[in-house]
Amino acid sequence: MSSAAPFAFRACAMTEPGFFPVPDAMTVAEIAVLTGAASASEAGADRRIRDIASLERAGPDDATYCESRRFAGKLKATRAGVCFVKPSEAELVPEDTVALVTRDPHRAYTVLGRQLYPTALKPRPIGAAGVVSPHAAVDPTARLEDGVTVEPFVLIGPGAEIGRETMIGAGSVIGPGVRIGRGCVVSSSVTVTHALLGDRVVIHPGVRIGQDGFGFIPGGAGHLKVPQTGRVIIQDDVEIGANSTIDRGSNRDTVLGEGTKVDNLVQIAHNVVIGRHCLIAGNVGISGSATIGDFVMMGGGVGVRDNVTIGSGARIAGASAVGNDVPAGETWGGFPAVPVETWQRERKAFFRLMRELPPMSAAGKKDATDG
């Protein structure tokens, strides 16, 4: 039998694609004006920057950023042409790198990235924009404004209305009577029913909007299903991450306020009302009839009990379980969630107690000296 490996990979002449158009170069001076950052020296103002990259990967044609001294080692070793830094880190920037000083380096870097890569800000059509595919099924009573893109295998139901410059991705379903505003993106394999969407809403692949909420009355003879007769209202500039689910209301509408951003794999149950400009990270689950104020931030994996109210400006640490109302502006964490100061005291007390307990033997019993 041959000793050669049973499988071998053949080298091939596959090219490495770039998925976004090559950006136009900008001078350091232009970048400073765009971002509001100040150059630490007059040298290098005419240097041309063509791309963005991380500290360790950036080269002489790239811009990068450093948020804190935690990354001082990477900052000192960077080969970037430009680096956004806070005033306290400007002295750490290598001699061959132009330091652009700003109070918020990550924001400045993001402003530059948006300028260089505008097409990366939302999903784009696979085919030609502004075209209704002949392989889509659009009900004759549906109304589409000019410039709507409908990709293959889309189904648009009776009476649906879609505003101009909106894209409906391949394989998506838009239910009867649904309203979708202007400049929206509905990515591939999305279902939208019983819903009204504002302008510039971005929905990533696999999202489900408007399906039944989970409502049942338990009983000895079986569980009685509660009719879900409400809607989903999604206001302007909301973004919803891939494979998230938003149930329609039962006795009130499910609402997402303007500017709110929802990560991937988030469950929002029936009757939930979420305010404006909230940030909700992945794997969050919000139970029915919860009310979330404006500018609330939730870390990944947070669970929120039904009928809980979280006040505006509150922050919930990742993996917390919220079972009680959270006052506006407070930071809570833990399982169950409590004010962050209480949570930290509890954790310290727990670890102190663990240190004070007598050691355990290999068999899992206390040492004999403990009696």
Q: How many residues make up the chain in this entry?
A: 371
Q: Which domain holds residue 320?
A: 137-343
206 & 333 share domain: yes
Residue type, 127: G
Q: How far apart are CA 343 and CA 329, in angstroms?
A: 16
Closest CA to 190 of 177, 172, 203, 211: 172
Which two three-digit tokens encode residue 138?
A: 């659009």
Q: How far apart are CA 359 and CA 369, in angstroms?
A: 10
Q: How far apart are CA 92 and CA 74, in angstroms?
A: 10
The reply to whether 361 falls in a domain is no
Sequence-ordered list of residues with C-beta below 8 angstroms from that of 86, at least 6 positions apart, any chain: 66, 67, 68, 101, 102, 103, 105
Residue type, 232: V
- Give the torsion through C-alpha atoms of 113, 116, 117, 119, to 10 deg: 130
260 & 177 share domain: yes
Closest CA to 231 of 189, 173, 271: 271
249 & 101 share domain: no
SS (H, E, C) the chain: CCCCCCCCCCCCCCCCCCCCCCCCCEEHHHHHHHHCCEECCCCCCCCEECEECCCCCCCCCEEEECCCHHHHHHHHHCCCCEEEECHHHHHHCCCCCEEEECCCHHHHHHHHHHHHCHHHCCCCCCCCCCCECCCCEECCCCEECCCCEECCCCEECCCCEECCCCEECCCCEECCCCEECCCCEECCCCEECCEEECCCCEECCCCEECCCCCCEECCCCCCEECCCCCCEEECCCCEECCCCEECCCCCCCEEECCCCEECCCCEECCCCEECCCCEECCCCEECCCCEECCCCEECCCCEECCCCEECCCCEECCCCEECCCECCCCEEEECCEEEHHHHHHHHHHHHHHHHHCCCECCCCCECHHHC
Grade residue 1 by pLDDT with cuts at 50, 70 and 90: very low
Q: For 246-258, what is each residue's pLDDT tens digit? A: 999 999 999 999 9
The reply to whether 15 falls in a domain is no
The reply to whether 100 falls in a domain is yes
Count up the domains in the chain and report the number: 2
Judged against a pLDDT cut of 80, whether residue 16 lies above it is answered with no
Grade residue 351 by pLDDT with cuts at 50, 70 and 90: confident
- Is residue 255 a contact partner of residue 273, using CB atoms and an 8 Å limit? yes
Interval 48-73 mean pLDDT: 97
162 & 201 share domain: yes
- Is residue 313 a contact partner of residue 294, using CB atoms and an 8 Å limit? yes
34 & 147 share domain: no
The CATH code of the domain that includes 339 is: 2.160.10.10
Grade residue 363 by pLDDT with cuts at 50, 70 and 90: low
Judged against a pLDDT cut of 90, whether residue 354 lies above it is answered with no
229 & 306 share domain: yes
The reply to whether 353 falls in a domain is no
Average pLDDT of the chain is 93
45 & 192 share domain: no
Q: For 196-211, what is each residue's pLDDT tens digit? A: 999 999 999 999 999 9
The reply to whether 239 falls in a domain is yes
The CATH code of the domain that includes 78 is: 3.40.1390.10
Which two three-digit tokens encode residue 101?
A: 């000083």
Grade residue 17 by pLDDT with cuts at 50, 70 and 90: confident
pLDDT value for 165: 98
The reply to whether 335 falls in a domain is yes
- Is residue 327 a contact partner of residue 312, using CB atoms and an 8 Å limit? no
Q: How far apart are CA 258 and CA 197, in angstroms?
A: 10
> Parallel, antiparallel, or unpaired for β 191-192 and 62-65?
unpaired
Judged against a pLDDT cut of 90, whether residue 46 lies above it is answered with yes
Which two three-digit tokens encode residue 133?
A: 């595919």
282 & 153 share domain: yes
Q: Which residues are catalytic?
A: 270
Cis bond before residue 218 (omega within 30° of 0): no
